[in-house]
Amino acid sequence: MLRIAITSRALFDLDASHLVFTNDGLEAYKEYQISQENTPLNPGEAFTLVKKLLNLNDLYKGENLVEVMLLSRNTADTGLRIFNSIQYHGLDIKKAAFCGGNSPHIYAKSFKADLFLSTELEDCKCSIENGVASARIMPSKKSLLDEKVLRVAFDGDSVLFSEESQKIYDQYGLDAFNKNEKDLADTPLVGGPFKSFLIELYKIQQSFSRTECPIRISLVTARSAPSHERVIKTLRDWNIRIDESLFLGGLEKKEFLKDFGADIFFDDQIDNCLAASLEVPTGQVINFNTRI
């Protein structure tokens, strides 16, 4: 089972509530949330992703394939509005941790989450330190929910693969990077922070027939020939076949992601994320060197 832990602010639009907290303090926030607890919250940045993931359980005739857990800084008292909104929107989310002002990331590992999604950079960094892959959900153009197929796009280096090759590029340039990748073409790349998430998503994909599969996976990378070969052979070594692989040679990714129709794109570089977020929902993959 693929397990996703997500914060309430990534799942729902809590900007108005947060503004009350910022302007008037905690007690006013509590009163506001209680007074509004029967008013459903609007979808947030990651709502469509979660909706489509949970829909996989309805499409698969067997045990559930996906579980989503809610992690929130709210108390259970102020969090009742969030659970009411979950019910209103028909989301099959049953497990939650309300942390009363503390960062909720600490429970992602206890829930055995494969991925933690939050709008807060510091929560994501703490999640990584706790051994759970994490992405910061960014303000992005919303995807359309009427398309049944879940489309997930990944960057390569420092996301699916380790940052080892990226460091060579950063320190010595493109020629040194290409030479290294060509020399090591038969040596599989080390897995990055999102390798395990890709593997679990791929397992779910294989649960469906090829003609009726509700998941498409894309690799969207700045790599091009000759560095493409090592990527292809690495995925082959992992026994994973990705539906679409785009080797863009440094071209901007956002138009390609728009054409793919990504429900989420995961990249570690903030500039890439900001550009992509203009067209598709985007998550910045967090590592120990992540900058805002």
Q: Would you please indicate which residues are annotated as catalytic (active-site) residues? A: 155
Taking only Cα atoms into account, the Rg of the chain, rounded to an integer number of angstroms, comes to 19
Other Cβ atoms less than 10 A from the Cβ of 102: the count is: 11
C-alpha 14: how far from its chain's center? 19
Residue 250's nearest CA partner among 277, 230, 278, 269 is: 269
Gap between the Cα atoms of 113 and 92, Å rounded = 16
Where b means 16+ CB within 10 Å and e means fewer, 120-150 reads: beebbbbbbeeebbbbbbbebeebeeeeeeb
| Residue 149: both structure tokens together | 């197929």
| Residue 126: both structure tokens together | 């703490």
Gap between the Cα atoms of 21 and 255, Å rounded = 38
